[in-house]
Structure 1
Amino acid sequence: MSSLIELCMIYLSIMQMNVDKLKKMAGAVRTGGKGSMRRKKKAVHKTTTTDDKRLQSTLKRVGVNTIPGIEEVNIFKDDVVIQFVNPKVQASIGANTWVVSGTPQTKKLQDLLPSIINQLGPDNLDNLRRLAEQFQKQAPGASSAEAGASAGAAQDDDDDVPELVPGETFEEAAEEKKESS
């Protein structure tokens, strides 16, 4: 019987050790005191590399080839240009598939206008017409303001510039002005 009691005592001490261990572990997980909620396990966010890997494997099946040496890609849509600088370009002509990878920049057609004219095709003639109309609408207002400013400046400078009569030259008018003064 004493062996049974000893066995029970050993069992209870083992159980007590397990309870103590569990309390220590639970204490590490709790954020507050007794009765508070346990902390949530932080979710590990899925990265986009798996999507990229899937896309690359699909493109490999299609049979795309990398085209080296492309410095810039411009995609035109209405008055907006999506511009890729130093992109990775892949193409599969048989599958009529073009892949442009890189960081896009969205710009207005007007911002890129001087350097981009040679890249515009016949499908962008409407955009060019619209831009030309916008510049013409802006130009008359600007030219009338410039004309008013130049007229005011011309009145200030009238003393220096001789008035010409038809048939006279600047030299003759300047000589006459010197003689009269």
Structure 2
Amino acid sequence: MNREKLIKMAGAVRTGGKGSVRRKKKAVHKTTTTDDKRLQSTLKRIGVSAIPAIEEVNIFKDDVVIQFVNPKVQASIAANTWVVSGSPQTKKLQDILPGIINQLGPDNLDNLRRLAEQFQKQTPAGGAAAAQEEDDDDVPELVPGETFEAAAEESKA
């Protein structure tokens, strides 16, 4: 390297004027994780409290289950807020279902059956027929020969 380039580099590192002490190391500003701090302060404002001794959390979404093993769970019942933090694993419902059924118990097994029946009704094959039956119950049919305009004129008179 040439002398001029070295002098130029040394001048860029000085903190003061000519003759002042040079910095030994350039200060590296670390970006703090402000998102996590803001989230924790917001949760504290809501009033969440930690719920201990939870070994597993399963979140069901369509045919996928998001599973947290040994998560940190916080809740605020008044604000209807639940916070689950940890490392998630995404699994298929068919793979995890046998293990979950053993954990449910008899009361929740009935709820699971009802959910499965509702899911089957919402599928495209059975969903159209169920929707048509509901529509028939909601709107009564018009009497032959009458129109809405004629009924509105009669009510005004």
Instruction: Compute the TM-score of the two structures, normalised by the length of structure 2.
Output: 0.51
Give the CA deviation at 1:127.
8.6
Q: Distance in 1 between matches of 2:41 and 2:8?
A: 46
Determine which of 46, 65, 71 is the counterpart of 2:55. 71
> RCO higher in 1 or 2 (8 Å CA, sep ≥ 6)?
2
Q: Distance in 2 between matches of 1:66 and 1:25?
A: 59
Structure 1 unmatched runs, 5+: 1-19, 30-42, 130-181
Structure 1's 79 and 25: CA in aligned 2 closer, same or farther, altered over 3 A?
farther
Q: Give the root-mean-square deviation of aligned CA atoms.
A: 3.3
Give the CA deviation at 1:124.
3.5
Larger radius of gyration: 1
1:74 partner SS: strand
Cα deviation, 1:72-103, whole Å, max 9, x if unaligned, reads: 00000000000000000000000000000001
Determine which of 21, 24, 38 is the counterpart of 2:6. 24
Q: Any conservation in 2 of the 1:70–1:89 contact (CA below 8 Å)?
A: yes
Higher helix share: 1
Structure 2 unmatched runs, 5+: 12-27, 121-157
Q: Distance in 2 between matches of 1:58 and 1:96?
A: 14
Amino-acid identity (%): 68
Cα deviation, 1:40-61, whole Å, max 9, x if unaligned, reads: xxx96745x2111100000000
The count of residues paired between Structure 1 and Structure 2 equals: 97
What pairs with 1:31-46 in structure 2 (closer than 5 Å)? 46=31
